A and B are shown apart, each in its own frame.
Chain A
Amino acid sequence: MTRLLVPALAALVALLFLASILIGPASVPLTDSLSALILADGGPMTLVMRELRLPRAVLAAVIGAGLGLSGAVMQGYLRNPLAEPGLLGVSGAAALGAVLALQTGLAAALALALPLAGLVGAFIAVLLLALLAGPAGGALTLILAGIGVSALSGAGLALVLNLSPDPFAAQEIVFWLMGSLADRSWSHVALALPLILGGATLLLTQARALSALTLGEDAAASMGVSLGRLRATVLLGTAAIVGAATAVAGSIGFIGLMVPHILRRATRGDPARLLPVSALGGAALLLAADIAVRLILPGRDLKLGVLLAILGAPFFLLLILRTRFAQNA
């Protein structure tokens, strides 16, 4: 089963990717949209396929993969199944960084400033979490630290957007807190992709160290794992992924929570195997969610976070229950 997992997930991602570029507010026959995608006839359909639907699907796959991966890494590093960037305020802090870059005009002056500001925000949040509730801290400490970071970043976000001279900015808080892939373009892909790929590469180098960490810090250290390097890499890698993803698509929560959890048993709890599988699973889940928001309320830009929270929050509560029973047992 484990052997088939990767090809099966890859096939699922490919299928959902195809579905994603074939679904949109304008219902166009499949063959027409595909031929418009491949053959440039200069018509509006080509523009829609190439400039709207394709970047949207690419972003969904890339961001989903990044979030699934960073969720798996955070859970492995903090040895806590409740760790998740969206839930713990890492995405919120990344959004605050991105909004600051946009509102101060930094992002207009230097395009890369947007994802980098997201990275800085996410980095500060992950650092705070690791300091407050690092590997030694329990689930409760982690969740409480997460609440603190979320509340602070949410308040900062509201303050900055309310003070913005743009009359529409204050309404944007929903986008930043709930996330959306509507009307993204290749420029968003270009901004987010390098940082997400870089972050993912960093994180994947730590797969074996994370496996060793399941035996405890001392055991991992005796196996030659540099805990300092592991920590720095995990912080930087997750911050790069979450920061860049949030800077272009807002906070998308629960993917990093659900995906590793669903796939953990299939990978026999080994972080080294879980990481690549979680990336594929995250891509599939975000593609599916992005298809669903377009099918449920077409043309209304239903936010991804709404759907994912409806799916993910009960999941989260279930996990809390399980953690509690595990502690009592």
Chain B
Amino acid sequence: MSGVTQDGGGRPMSVFARVSDALILALGLGLAALPGAAQTAPPTRVVSMNLCTDQLALMLAAPGQLISVSYLAHDGAVAPLQAAARALPANHGLAEEVYLLQPDLVLAGRFSTVATVAMLQRLGVPVIRFEPENSLDDIEAALRQMGAALGRTAQAEALIEDFRADRARLAAHLAERRHGSEGPRAVLYSSRGWTGGSETLSGDILREAGLRNLADDLGLSWGGMVALESLLLADPDRLILGQPARNPEGWSEARALLHHPALRHSRAYRAGVAANDRDWVCGTPFVLQAIARLIDETTP
């Protein structure tokens, strides 16, 4: 369970404690679905083929209900629930291997391979697709959808309760740290110069951490490419560098941009750089950890 309970380390408050408790309860004690609550029998062999549905399913599934997760879930660099995921065999989202697992439910993302999903449906395997979460509110909806899909509505509602409570606590924490002053102007800058706008989950993370998003000033509400030159001239207060999914031995021009001397000499860089990490990747309650860290990192 180490992957479940680890936190940002040295944070003044343990935002995530209650969510972790709920998880341990859900995974460890194995509460059965409430009798009579489900009209149809809940699925017993669930395969998830998307990193984000992996996370939601790992939080909500009954023991033994989830039989395989995507190979990405085994990678601690992108998956917060790595330890729990490692206990399950990984799949690579290929129709053949998923089908041979004989699932009675497949969980896929909106952008999972269309051909694979179509093939599985043709073979008579029920597939539920999850929309990507673009805001913190979407996370509640995703938890609710996953609870319904797995026949674990009660557990989902409990997690949502915890999520709301943690969010409220974070807001109070933010107000305390900022003393009502206006938040710094921050920008998320990732490989190839990509920035996330306010309509995206990363944008909502910035907002919840009390930061003003530079992407809005640049008219990029859904995000987009920002030339390094334009970024420097916009002169943000804070920089949140998009870290690669892992820290590979490999090298790419796309990431080299984040090491450009001009960026390193900018005012925002010298003010201290925050970084996004695995807690930003998917719309799960783990984003609250990311927000908590971001608040502390961007408060002088």
Query: Are A25 and B230 in contact, CB atoms less than 8 angstroms apart?
Result: yes
Query: Are A172 and B254 in contact, CB atoms less than 8 angstroms apart?
Result: yes
Query: Are A47 and B252 in contact, CB atoms less than 8 angstroms apart?
Result: no
Query: Are A183 and B252 in contact, CB atoms less than 8 angstroms apart?
Result: no
- Residue B122 interfacial (CB < 8 Å): no
Interface size on A, residues (CB 8 A): 32
Q: Nearest chain-B residue to A99 (Cβ)?
A: B251
Would A52 and B232 be within 8 Å (CB), given that A168-B254, A171-B254 are in contact? yes
- Residue B245 interfacial (CB < 8 Å): yes
Query: Are B230 and A108 in contact, CB atoms less than 8 angstroms apart?
Result: no
Q: Smallest distance from the beta carbon of B254 to chain A beta carbons, Å?
A: 4
The listed residue (B191, B225, B229, B266) touching A168 by CB distance below 8 A is: B191
Query: Are B230 and A26 in contact, CB atoms less than 8 angstroms apart?
Result: yes
Q: Nearest chain-B residue to A172 (Cβ)?
A: B253
Which of B35-43, B153-161, B256-264 contacts its partner?
B256-264
Which of A85-93, A159-167, A268-276 contacts its partner?
A159-167
Interface string of B222-256 (1 = CB under 8 A from A): 00010111101111000000001110111111110
Q: Smallest distance from the beta carbon of B160 to chain A beta carbons, Å?
A: 33
Would A25 and B227 be within 8 Å (CB), given that A48-B232, A48-B262, A165-B246 are in contact? yes
- Residue A169 interfacial (CB < 8 Å): yes
The listed residue (B227, B232, B246) touching A47 by CB distance below 8 A is: B232
- Residue B265 interfacial (CB < 8 Å): yes
Task: Determine which residue in A107, A171, A300 has the highest number of CB atoms from chain B within 10 A of its CB, and name it.
Answer: A171
The listed residue (B229, B251, B265) touching A102 by CB distance below 8 A is: B251
The listed residue (A25, A51, A169) touching B265 by CB distance below 8 A is: A51
Q: Smallest distance from the beta carbon of B300 to chain A beta carbons, Å?
A: 20
Interface string of A182-202 (1 = CB under 8 A from B): 010111000000000000000
Query: Are B233 and A105 in contact, CB atoms less than 8 angstroms apart?
Result: no
Query: Are A185 and B261 in contact, CB atoms less than 8 angstroms apart?
Result: yes
Q: Nearest chain-A residue to B245 (Cβ)?
A: A167
Would A51 and B251 be within 8 Å (CB), given that A44-B267, A45-B233, A165-B246 are in contact? no
The listed residue (A103, A166, A172, A187) touching B261 by CB distance below 8 A is: A187
Query: Are B249 and A105 in contact, CB atoms less than 8 angstroms apart?
Result: yes
Pick the 3 closest A-B CB pairs, nearest first: A166-B250, A51-B262, A168-B254
What are 16 A-B contacts with C-beta separation under 8 Å? A26-B230, A43-B235, A44-B235, A47-B265, A48-B232, A51-B260, A51-B265, A164-B248, A165-B250, A166-B248, A168-B255, A169-B250, A172-B253, A172-B254, A187-B261, A300-B225
